[in-house]
Amino acid sequence: MLQLDFLDDLRRMNMRQLFYQLLNFAMIVSSALMIWKGLMVVTGSESPIVVVLSMEPAFQRGDLLFLTNYEQEPIRAGEIVVFKVEGRDIPIVHRVMKVHEKEDGSVKFLTKGDNNNVDDRGLYANGQAWLNRKDVVGRARGYVPFIGIVTIIMNDYPKFKYAVLAGLGLFVLVHRE
């Protein structure tokens, strides 16, 4: 039964057509990549879309946040920012509690998650008591509820992620336009 009929199309192709199938696949991946990089440039943030993990009741787990990171905009208490602690990869989405600003524009600020009882000093690097401007990935501008659950599932079950990506990739490679 497993006759691999779907590969027939590929078998009948010459070198040029096979190369075009590969390019087709590459172009789809590239389009996604270029849109992401384009968003990075436009918003000024290195990670313009993040998935929220712990900010109830403002955001539920799995919400998708859109960020901007313009240099001119000041950070103010009460705003929701996304920051990265030095040495760690995961961006954290919390609210700014206190801000100290010097005349030259440099800032130090303290954050706390709405759903946490204590401020984030426990999360910062050893000996660090305040965050700087450079730790900020961006400020929340808008959000789409719930869609991020897919990303959370894919990260919790990496095999699922690879299976989906492999399946999609295979489909594009084999399917003739």
Partner 1 sequence: MSKKSMEENPPKVNKWDGNALKNALDDAVKDVLLTQFSYVESHKLLDGRLIISSVAVGFSIFALVWDWLYPFPQSRTVMCVCVVSYFVMMGVLTWYTTCLERGIFCTALNKDAAGIDPDDVWNASSSLKRFDNKYHLRLTQRMGKSGKGKEAHTTLTVENFFDETGRLLYGAVAKEVLRLHSDVENKKN
Q: Which residues make up the interface to partner 1 (CB under 8 A)? A: 8-9, 11-12, 16-17, 19-20, 23-24, 26-27, 29-31, 33-34, 37-38, 40-41, 46, 176-177
If the CB atoms of residues 42 and 144 are measured against partner 1, the closer one turns out to be 42
If the CB atoms of residues 112 and 133 are measured against partner 1, the closer one turns out to be 133
Rounded least distance, CB 136 to partner 1, Å: 12
If the CB atoms of residues 24 and 151 are measured against partner 1, the closer one turns out to be 24
CA–CA dist 97, 120 (Å, integer): 10
If the CB atoms of residues 12 and 102 are measured against partner 1, the closer one turns out to be 12
Rounded least distance, CB 33 to partner 1, Å: 6
Sign, Cα dihedral of 164, 170, 176, 177: positive
CA–CA dist 147, 154 (Å, integer): 12
Rounded least distance, CB 120 to partner 1, Å: 23
Rounded least distance, CB 107 to partner 1, Å: 17
SS3 142: strand
**Residue 122 buriedness (CB in 10 A; 0-12 / 13-18 / 19+):** exposed
The answer to whether the CB of 62 falls within 8 A of the CB of 133 is no
